[in-house]
Amino acid sequence: MPRKQTNKILERKNDILEIIRKRGEVSTNDLVKTTGLSHSQVFYILRLLQRDGAIREIKRGKVAYWRIVEQGHEATESEDTDII
């Protein structure tokens, strides 16, 4: 059973969403440094936001980046792949 989203969780979701919105694309580690939260706390919030359809994960090697999902546009994986 999922946990109830407390005011603290909702606040953190808004804070992290605002950081991603301002920067365009942010790594999980950058969010940890910026927010001062633990990696697991940040990751939990990111997964909630992803489940809500607000953000999506972009993997580049071992590093995960997060980006806002544009209204009415769910990018395909090929749009996020770097061509070398």
What is the tally of structural domains in the chain? 1
> Which CATH number is 38's domain given?
1.10.10.10
Classify residue 68 as exposed, middle or buried by CB count within 10 Å of its CB (0-12, 13-18, 19+): middle
Establish if 22 belongs to a structural domain.
Answer: yes
User: The pTM is what?
Assistant: 0.78
Establish if 75 belongs to a structural domain.
Answer: no
Residue numbers of the domain that contains 25: 7-70
For the stretch 56-79, pLDDT in tens is 999 999 999 999 998 655 544 444
Q: What is the mean pLDDT of residues 38-50?
A: 97
pLDDT surpassing 70 at residue 54: yes
